[in-house]
A and B are shown apart, each in its own frame.
Chain A
């Protein structure tokens, strides 16, 4: 496997399959009375979060704990970071305390990559700026594969603010890598100009895309983007790009509705749509723990120093 997980592009299709297959076993662990295995006993995992996050941090924390690793949560408020400590000094301090892996979220794209140059510990990207969020993409791939038994040939649309979404970037690259057909949907202002080079289709309207989808993936719309004038009003956005009851009726039967959370009910997804049986949003959360266990196990369960470093 790899030493660091910075980007979904590091993984070959067979690596992705291995991560998903291993996650299957960890899913089973999650159904036991004792949801814990001793695989990473004695290892230390640090959650270093420079941006607010509830679900990703808790998910990583639970994943590490279920592997019997020791977990340290380090968030920037109330820590030495608020006293002006640099990322490098913080990382070196954590490493001096014996961290084997650092899970980092940071507002700057590429921060995780930079971190790998300073520390010997493995670095796992939990979201860096508008760049990538590879563990989210892998848990989404897992959730889709679980329902369809495959990824190849599936048709997926990712709808919303593609431009600022690290989830969209990672998931698109992951889906394309695994042979799925991806359409990116959103207002022209929120589709990155380089998107066609990712091997995807682009559409500025949702209605024409809906009837042929296996997966409809809705992205969170940040209201501040409206203030930055990427779209005229939240209401208009919701009318054109929101997943309403009427649009769901046009989806093929059994098509999955997904969302990385946290949701704006009534904006990008109608509240009753989020609660439909075909919406797998809570399954995504459950699967996230298994995927992160899988990644921590595969990255930390190998020998020190012998793994190939792709960073």
Chain B
């Protein structure tokens, strides 16, 4: 665990409700789930994407394809860190060309991850449109990027750490803001 918690922002039920609401919003905005595909950004964005797909299937009765994207090779800070960033799995086993791709991530912060994800995505094809769904938007954007679907807007200080825990990888569901480590 990191620094001392300033507070828990979302509990299990809050996250569940946010995912359900975002699923409804995706359906409303795209007039159904036809030609919608979900691509989660590793790590945790992929878990959220699977949950969203479950909700979409429950509400609309339609299974949307889900992929996972690792953006490491597209980062803008390779060579600026002491170690090469750790790499995760990428698996998009469907064609994104002509589809509405909903990128899914846990926290939207500077926007640099999403910039990298957009670059990576176009190497897989030419989507008709790309939308962005995030569980938490904590502000402090450094690029002109905005989310289409937001679970919760959380004002933060730059030096704070927003941590999203998900059952699938962390054993529990929670969103926590932590003070910086000394």
Taken together as a complex, chains A and B put the C-alpha atoms of A141 and B8 apart, in Å, by 45
Q: Does B106 contact A (CB under 8 A)?
A: no
A297 to B86, CA, bound (A): 10
What's the interface size class on A, roughly?
20 to 34
Question: Is there contact, CB below 8 Å, between B89 and A28?
Answer: yes
Q: Check A25/B119 contact, CB under 8 A, given A1-B83, A300-B79, A301-B85.
A: no
Residue of A with least CB distance to B124: A32
Min CB–CB distance A28 → chain B (angstroms)? 5
* A40/B78 in contact, CB under 8 A: yes
Residues in A neighbouring B87, C-beta threshold 8 A: 21-22, 25, 297
**Contacts A33-B124, A33-B125, A38-B74 given; does A306 touch B89 at CB 8 Å:** no
Check B1 for interface membership: any CB of A closer than 8 A: no
Would A32 and B123 count as touching, CB distance under 8 A? yes
Enumerate chain A residues within 8 angstroms of B83, measured Cβ to Cβ: 1, 302-303, 307
Contact B81 A39 (CB under 8 A): no
Interface of B is mostly: loop
Q: Judge whether A34 is part of the interface by a CB distance below 8 angstroms.
A: yes
Cβ A301 vs Cβ B84 within 8 A: yes
> Chain B, interface size: which category?
20 to 34
| A297 partner residues in chain B, CB cutoff 8 A | 73, 84, 87
B79 pairs with A304, CB closer than 8 A: yes
Chain B CB within 8 A of A298 CB: yes
Q: Which of B74, B81, B123, B125 contacts A303 (CB 8 A)?
A: B81
A302 touches B74 (CB 8 A): no
Nearest B residue (CB) for A41: B78
**Assembled-state Cα–Cα distance A301/B124 (Å):** 23
Q: With A and B bound together, what is the CA distance between A38 and B76 in angstroms? A: 9
CB neighbors of B among A27-45 (8 A): 28-29, 32-34, 36-40, 43
Give chain B interface residues in 111-161, CB to chain A under 8 Å.
119-120, 123-125
Instruction: Return A297 CB to nearest CB of chain B, in Å.
Output: 6
Q: Given that A24-B89, A301-B79 are contacting pairs, would A37 and B74 also be in contact in the complex, using a CB cutoff of 8 Å? A: yes
Q: Is B20 an interface residue (CB 8 A)?
A: no
**Cα distance A43–B70 when bound, in Å?**
22
Q: Look across to chain A and name the residue whose beta carbon is closest to the beta carbon of B78.
A: A301
User: Is the CB of B90 closer than 8 A to any CB of chain A?
Assistant: yes
> A301 to chain B: which residues have CB within 8 Å?
78-79, 84-85
CA distance A289 to B75 in the complex (A): 21
Q: What 8 new A-B contacts, CB under 8 Å, besides A32-B124, A300-B84?
A: A21-B87, A24-B89, A25-B90, A28-B90, A39-B72, A39-B74, A298-B84, A302-B81
Interface residues of A (CB under 8 A from B): 1, 21-22, 24-25, 28-29, 32-34, 36-40, 43, 67, 297-304, 306-307
The contact sample of 23 A-B pairs, CB cut-off 8 A, is A21-B87, A25-B72, A25-B87, A25-B88, A25-B89, A28-B89, A28-B90, A29-B90, A32-B123, A33-B123, A33-B124, A33-B125, A43-B79, A67-B73, A297-B73, A298-B84, A300-B79, A301-B79, A302-B79, A302-B82, A303-B82, A303-B83, A307-B82
